Amino acid sequence: MTSVSLTVNGKAVTADVEPRTLLVQFLREGQRLTGTHVGCDTSQCGACVVHLDGEAVKACTTLAVQCDGRTVTTIEGLAAPGGTLHPMQAAFREHHGLQCGYCTPGMIMTAVDLVRRKGHHLDEATIRHELEGNICRCTGYHNIVKAIAAGAEAMAAEPVREAAE
């Protein structure tokens, strides 16, 4: 076992883990943060996307030990204390950007990272291209794209705290 200390959604966490523990297992099974999903488990589908030091990564292809000393934000860390939704979460609700909801946490974490990199005014082509690492098996992309465009604008209008990052 190896000791890891990291910040998860703003809270300091220390745990003993086997080196082979994936970040997604650590989050779901160790921290009971089950909002991060496992879809394909092969770094294709994006259901497990979280932020590592503010950058979107696939938690199924990152070891928990690699995150020692670093900061992880999951979908549970996006909403403000008290439960006010992050503007990107609110946009997904408003625009019906989800059907079964399985891909949604990864879609939202990817979308927030996209805004960080490309700004608040995103055209449809950019959003679709940037979503190539996130698969929606309900094929509900149309509303996801609309939600991200709206969420990105809303993030500019309503600067929230930097999540837990």
User: Which residues would be at the binding site for other proteins (CB under 8 A)?
Assistant: 2, 18-20, 41-44, 46, 49, 52, 55-58, 61-63, 65-66, 68, 110, 113-114, 117, 130, 132-134
Two tokens at 39? 């879809």
Which of residues 16 and 158 has its CB atom nearest to other proteins in the complex? Answer: 16
* 29/24 Cα distance (integer angstroms): 8
- φ, ψ of residue 55 to 5 degrees: the values are -105, 140
Which of residues 40 and 80 has its CB atom nearest to other proteins in the complex? Answer: 40
* 118/105 Cα distance (integer angstroms): 20
Which of residues 18 and 158 has its CB atom nearest to other proteins in the complex? Answer: 18
Query: What is the H or E stretch that residue 82 is in?
Result: none
Taking the complex as a whole, the smallest distance from the CB of residue 121 to other proteins amounts, in Å, to 18
Taking the complex as a whole, the smallest distance from the CB of residue 42 to other proteins amounts, in Å, to 6
Angle separating helix axes 104-118 and 141-157, nearest 10 degrees:
50
Taking the complex as a whole, the smallest distance from the CB of residue 83 to other proteins amounts, in Å, to 27
